[in-house]
């Protein structure tokens, strides 16, 4: 077998060498400034051979002998040029070639629709398509980014961790949960334009990638567009104001290039009440071109940001207060103060070395260090009543279930007229306790994780000849993460007792039994304190082959990861399994993928890809409750992922389209949830960790994108996503808790084994069907307008697995409830499907060029008709058995009904740009 491969490769090499080579030369300059342009990408289409211009704008490229080819000239911010060439056995000197600024690029389409809160919302799935904004010209993917994102749409029904995000070849997905933290580089649109996107299973030159594709953002200073740019934005979505300034020097004669960018985003309130926004962004990239073969680039990114979160609510709450309602804030001293603030401060320092070994080989070596903190604040109340304004005992439904109409009326009046967090009551309770010599009833604290991550990798690219290239990568990543709760504010009190009031005994109440009954103050760690350690090694290799009629590639990947928890507290509920190091969790994983493109003609292509890979469970899904103990999820396995797709692509002067079919199977997935449950093991109540393992998921569907340039100024466009995303088996389930509840949980806090009957239930992945149709008019005088109508269907609530297990129908003695009715149970467990809805969006803008200065303005209006729609939601796990759930759902207003997120009403975004 190996000899055969060697002979094939030698044959291809010899076959190629039989052709004599041509040389094509030229010089690229800016049409406006008449200055030479460096780092312009020069390539011959349908071959793998490329080069770039030097500091003087000059290039030379070896090409195939004899034949007709297309020479493509491309530089970000300029119009791409395609020059037809007829090659013989001579050197072709193209002389000076003028490159013209891309006027439409001033419109900055990348920030029209998605705002930062959509990219960072803990419950949102929009971050899995945010990388498509600038990197892809594919009509379907851009429609998904611009039109579908506000509905929590997931491409192919997959979580964002299946898409890999890189900066300069360094993967930025978090080790903890597999997702990219987009706020780490938020507000830096100007300097993140240079993106290379590989859709789905397509080949990437820098990584094996995920089944949702790869986005690689290149911050190299020499590739940034020279000049200065100022912009201002205003919106009512998340931030209200944004100001940004960017300056790039271009490459000087002595080989230096520099880019600096800064922005400020702020707002006291977005669309949802009390959602403040406060963010700064600073960026610098400095490159030194040492000689024709070596360059070094330093990148620094610092984007500290704070934003107020918004709450999911039951329909009862939305009916009383509207879709803008947010329970997390209350008035204090004349301003809205949100108790739940997410703060991200994680600077990124990066050093990249670029080595052009030869005309056909490059080696890029990268090192990065990211450090800082992520904090999520909230209230704790071990000495007081639940302060939430939507606490179930304060809502009308709580009184209606006992026919207390008077209590329900009073509750409704109080909630409608106020219904926000009562900061004054909280301060008063703490002050009263202090005066009585008691500890705080309430405290404001922050769940913190302080990460330190080092990544080193090297990427090798070799173009063997005009048809064959190979890519390879070696990578090492080291994460050290400290996780703890920290007191932010005593809220008028003198100290807070660090105990868990729900525990069974005084000893078990201690969060750290080595420091019993500890009273903490501002800046102190409490509740939990532990470290996470992770070491990751990865290798990737790929071969790409391009010919006149067929392109194909094959890639392999192997990785090894080791994760471990180290407890710093000896928890009173887990004395023997909380302090010190856990067992090490080791996984070795691999992946293979291949794909081919058959060129029916220059305008019609067929593409197909297939992949099989294993991926280690994230740290989040490896420990059943990492805040309290070292327990590792039982029978923990790597996920097994199989994915395949096939596409037909049409490209002509009038119509550009793609239709794709896809199938993905994911096996042995693990999911962990945390909630209070009534009816565990009969009639017990406990705060539980629900561990569901061995999950199998199946996603299949169609994607369609179409653009038609019907006239020189009018373009019609449409897109459709038709999917079916379901659970494909009945996985295992068990519960853990830090209380025993009369033997329901053993000494390790573990319940018995269950089977959760999830098969054929729908996966909550936003709308399974999404459609878009619209038009765009671009006037020759550089003004434009567009509109789309978007239709969404088959959106489902996220189901509670425990209610689909035997716990749902089992009494305390293990027997079925005496009054259990199968038909009634099936109705209770029917998955909620949201109503279909449509959303109309408008966009328009105008650009001017005045003596080398570029000015542009554009505005968008989303959800023009102010449609109210549910974009997501979940079943509350509180009603864990048949008796609890049937009693609750029998009410006109369930006490523990499903919780929802609503999409925004009518919103706008306005942007002004000035550049030169």
- What does the H/E/C string look like for 774-815? EEEEECCCCEEEEEEEEEEECCECECCHHHHCHHHCECCCCC
In the DSSP assignment, the letter for residue 890 is T
Residue 150 has pLDDT above 90, yes or no: no
Using CB atoms within 10 Å of the CB of residue 157, give its burial: 0 to 12 exposed, 13 to 18 middle, 19+ buried.
Answer: buried
Instruction: Give me the pLDDT at residue 136, please.
Output: 54
Other beta carbons within 10 Å of 217 = 22
The Cα 764–Cα 756 span in angstroms is: 16
Report residue 193's pLDDT band, with 50, 70 and 90 as the boundaries: confident
pLDDT higher than threshold 80 for residue 14: no
Q: In terms of DSSP bridges, do strands 227-235 and 241-248 run parallel, antiparallel, or are they unpaired? A: antiparallel
Instruction: Give me the residues paired with residue 68 across strands.
Output: 86
The residues with which 456 forms a beta bridge, in sequence order, are 367, 476
pLDDT band at 34 (very low <50, low <70, confident <90, very high): confident
Task: Tell me the pairing of strands 227-235 and 213-217.
Answer: unpaired
Residue 504 CB: number of other CB atoms within 10 A? 14
Q: What is the dihedral of CA 133, 134, 139, 142, to 10 degrees?
A: 10
CA atoms within 13 Å, Cβ hemisphere of 434: 16
The continuous run of DSSP H or E covering 425 comes out as helix 423-435
Which candidate, 171, 40, 154, places its Cα nearest to that of 94? 40
Return d(Cα 100, Cα 85) in angstroms, integer: 21
Q: Which of 547, 467, 360 is nearest to 17 (CA)?
A: 467
Res. 12: pLDDT tops 70: no
Q: Are 892 and 400 in contact (CB under 8 A)?
A: yes
Beta bridge partners of 769: 722, 793
Cβ atoms of residues 299 and 287 within 8 Å: no
Considering only 1-15, 53-67, 383-397, 559-573, which range has the smallest mean pLDDT? 1-15
Taking 50 as the threshold, does the pLDDT of residue 742 lie above it? yes
DSSP code string of 617-673 = PPSTTTBS-TTT--PBPTT---EEEEEEEEEEEEE-SSEEEEEEEEEEEEEEEEEEE
Question: 140 Cβ partners below 8 Å, 6+ apart?
Answer: 658, 660, 703, 704, 705, 719, 721
Q: Is the pLDDT of residue 95 over 60?
A: yes
Residue 15, sorted as left (phi over 0), alpha (psi -120 to 50) or beta, turns out to be: alpha
Query: Which among 908, 827, 915, 892 has a CA at the least distance from the CA of 860?
Result: 908
* Per-residue model confidence (pLDDT) at position 503: 84
Residues in a beta bridge with 841:
788
228-253 pLDDT, tens per residue?
999 999 999 889 999 999 999 999 98
Query: Would you place residue 8 in the very low, low, confident or very high pLDDT band (cuts 50, 70, 90)?
Result: very low
pLDDT at 339 over 70: yes
Q: What is the pLDDT of residue 389?
A: 96
Q: What percent of the chain has pLDDT over 70?
A: 92
Average pLDDT for 396-415? 94
**Buried/exposed 116-154: b ≥16 CB within 10 Å, e otherwise:** bbbbbbebbbbbbbbbbbbbbebbbbbbbbbbbbbbbbb
- On whether the CB atoms of residues 236 and 270 are closer than 8 A, the answer is yes
Mapped onto helix, strand or coil, the DSSP state of residue 412 is: helix
Give pLDDT, residue 903.
92
Most confident of 210-219, 584-593, 773-782: 584-593
The string of pLDDT tens digits covering residues 262-315 is 999 999 999 999 999 999 999 999 999 999 899 999 999 999 999 999 999 999
Helix (H) or strand (E) holding 598: strand 585-599
Average model confidence (pLDDT) across the chain? 89
Q: What are phi and psi of 334, to 5 degrees?
A: 85, 10
**Confidence at 107, pLDDT banded by 50, 70, 90:** very low
Measured between alpha carbons, how far is 323 from 28 in angstroms, rounded to an integer? 55
pLDDT score, position 741: 62
Express each pLDDT in 789-811 by its tens digit.
Answer: 999 999 999 999 999 999 999 98
Confidence band, pLDDT 50/70/90 cuts, at residue 48: low
User: Can you tell me the distance from the alpha carbon of 435 to that of 1, in angstroms, rounded to the nearest whole number?
Assistant: 84
Residue 743's pLDDT is what?
A: 64
> Per-residue pLDDT averaged across 526-540, rounded?
98
With beta carbons less than 8 A apart as the criterion, state whether 23 and 61 touch: yes
Query: Are 493 and 442 within 8 A, CB to CB?
Result: yes
Phi/psi for 144 (5° steps) reads -60, -40
In contact, 257 and 287? CB cutoff 8 Å: yes
Mean pLDDT calculated for residue range 809-822:
90
Q: How far apart are CA 875 and CA 803, in angstroms?
A: 10
Non-local (6+) Cβ contacts of 714 within 8 A are 775, 776, 777
Q: Which span out of 52-61, 274-283, 495-504 was modeled with the highest average pLDDT?
A: 274-283
Q: Tell the residue number behind the tokens 């690229």, with chain if given.
A: 28
The larger pLDDT score, comparing residue 121 to residue 714, is at 714
The span from the CA of 409 to the CA of 112, in Å, is 44
What share of the chain in percent tops pLDDT 90? 73
CA angle 107, 108, 114 (to 5 degrees): 130
> How many residues does the structure list for the chain?
916
Given a contact cutoff of 8 angstroms between Cβ atoms, the answer to whether 552 and 586 are in contact is no
- pTM here? 0.88
Helix (H, G, I), strand (E, B) or coil at 607: strand
In the predicted model, is pLDDT for residue 131 greater than 50?
no
Strands 550-567 and 585-599: antiparallel
Give the tokens for residue 274: 């009390």
The arithmetic mean of pLDDT across residues 11-18, rounded, is 39
């Amino acid at each position: 077998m190996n000899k055969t491969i060697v002979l094939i490769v030698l044959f291809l090499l010899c076959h190629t060498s039989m052709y004599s080579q041509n040389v094509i030369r030229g010089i690229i300059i800016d049409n406006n400034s008449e200055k030479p342009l460096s780092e312009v990408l020069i390539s011959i289409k349908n071959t793998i051979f490329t080069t770039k211009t030097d500091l003087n704008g000059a290039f030379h490229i070896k090409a195939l002998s004899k034949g007709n080819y297309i020479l493509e000239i491309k530089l970000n911010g300029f119009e791409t040029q395609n020059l037809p060439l007829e090659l013989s056995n001579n050197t072709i000197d193209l002389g000076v070639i003028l490159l013209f600024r891309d006027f439409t690029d001033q419109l900055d389409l990348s920030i029209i629709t998605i705002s930062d809160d959509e990219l960072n919302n803990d419950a949102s799935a929009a971050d899995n398509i945010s990388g498509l904004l600038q990197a892809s010209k594919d009509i379907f993917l851009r429609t998904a980014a611009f039109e579908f994102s506000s509905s929590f749409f997931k491409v192919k029904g997959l979580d964002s961790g299946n898409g890999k995000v890189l900066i300069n070849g360094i993967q930025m997905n978090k080790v903890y949960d597999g997702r990219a933290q987009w706020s780490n580089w938020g507000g830096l649109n100007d300097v993140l334009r240079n993106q290379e996107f590989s859709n789905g299973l397509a080949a990437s030159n820098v990584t094996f990638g995920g089944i949702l594709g790869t986005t690689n953002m290149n911050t190299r200073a020499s590739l940034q567009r020279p000049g200065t740019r100022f912009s201002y934005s205003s919106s009512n979505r998340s931030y209200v104001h944004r100001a940004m300034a960017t300056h790039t020097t271009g490459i000087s004669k002595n080989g230096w290039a520099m880019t600096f960018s800064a922005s400020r985003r702020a707002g006291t309130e977005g669309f949802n009440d009390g959602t403040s926004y406060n963010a700064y962004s600073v960026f610098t990239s400095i490159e030194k071109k040492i000689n024709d073969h070596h360059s070094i680039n330093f990148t620094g990114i610092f984007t500290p940001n704070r934003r107020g979160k918004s709450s999911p609510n039951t329909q009862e709450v939305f009916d009383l207060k509207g879709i803008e309602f947010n329970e997390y804030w209350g008035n204090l001293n004349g301003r809205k103060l949100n108790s739940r603030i997410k703060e991200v401060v994680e600077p990124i320092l990066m050093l990249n070395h670029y080595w052009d070994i030869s005309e056909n080989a490059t080696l890029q070596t990268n090192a990065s260090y990211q450090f800082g903190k992520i904090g999520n604040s909230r209230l704790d109340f071990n000495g007081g009543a639940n302060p939430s304004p939507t606490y179930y005992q304060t809502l009308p439904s709580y009184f209606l279930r006992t026919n207390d109409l008077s209590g329900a009326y009073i509750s409704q009046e109080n909630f409608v007229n106020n219904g926000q967090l009562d900061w004054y009551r909280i301060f008063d309770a703490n002050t009263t306790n202090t005066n009585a010599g008691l500890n705080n009833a309430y405290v404001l604290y922050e769940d913190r994780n302080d990460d330190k991550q080092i990544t080193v990798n090297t990427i090798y690219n070799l173009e063997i000849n005009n048809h064959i290239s190979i890519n390879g990568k070696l990578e090492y990543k080291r994460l050290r993460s400290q996780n703890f709760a920290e007191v932010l504010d005593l809220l008028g009190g003198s100290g807070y007792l660090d105990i868990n009031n729900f525990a069974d005994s005084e000893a078990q109440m201690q969060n750290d039994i080595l420091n019993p009954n500890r009273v903490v103050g501002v800046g102190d760690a409490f509740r939990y304190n532990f470290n996470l350690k992770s070491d990751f090694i990865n290798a990737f290799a790929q071969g790409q082959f391009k010919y006149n009629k067929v392109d194909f590639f094959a890639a392999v990947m192997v990785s090894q990861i080791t994760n471990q928890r180290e407890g710093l507290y000896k928890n009173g509920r887990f004395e023997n399994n909380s302090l010190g190091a856990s067992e090490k969790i080791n996984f070795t994983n691999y992946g293979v993928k291949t794909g081919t493109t058959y060129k029916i003609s220059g305008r019609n292509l067929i593409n197909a890809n297939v992949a099989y890979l294993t991926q280690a469970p994230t740290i989040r899904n490896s420990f059943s409750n990492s805040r309290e103990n070292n327990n590792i999820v039982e029978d923990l396995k790597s996920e097994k992922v199989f994915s395949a797709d096939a596409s037909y692509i049409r490209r002509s002067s009038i119509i550009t389209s793609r239709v794709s079919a896809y199938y993905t199977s994911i096996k042995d997935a693990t999911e962990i949830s945390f909630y209070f449950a009534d009816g565990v093991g009969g009639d017990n109540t406990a705060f539980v960790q629900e561990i569901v393992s061995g999950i199998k998921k199946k996603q299949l569907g169609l994607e369609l994108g179409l653009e038609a340039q019907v006239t020189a100024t009018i373009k019609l466009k449409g897109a459709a996503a038709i999917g079916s995303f379901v659970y494909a088996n009945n996985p295992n389930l068990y519960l853990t808790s830090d209380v025993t509840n009369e033997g329901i949980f053993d000494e390790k806090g573990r319940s018995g084994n269950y089977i959760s009957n999830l098969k054929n239930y729908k996966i909550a992945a936003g709308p399974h069907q999404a459609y878009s149709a619209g038009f765009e008019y671009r006037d020759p005088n550089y003004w434009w307008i567009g509109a789309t109508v978007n239709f969404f269907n088959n959106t489902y609530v996220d189901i509670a697995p425990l209610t689909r297990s035997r716990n749902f129908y089992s009494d305390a003695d293990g027997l079925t409830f005496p009054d259990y009715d199968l038909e009634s149970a099936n109705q209770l467990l029917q998955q909620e499907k949201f109503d279909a809805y449509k959303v109309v969006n408008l966009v328009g803008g105008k650009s001017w060029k005045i003596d080398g200065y570029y000015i542009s303005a554009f505005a968008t209006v989303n959800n023009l008709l102010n449609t109210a729609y549910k974009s997501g939601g979940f079943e509350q796990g509180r009603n864990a058995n048949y008796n609890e759930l049937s009693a609750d759902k029998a009410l006109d207003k369930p006490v523990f009904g499903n919780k929802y997120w609503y999409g925004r009403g009518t919103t706008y975004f306005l942007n002004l740009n000035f550049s030169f």
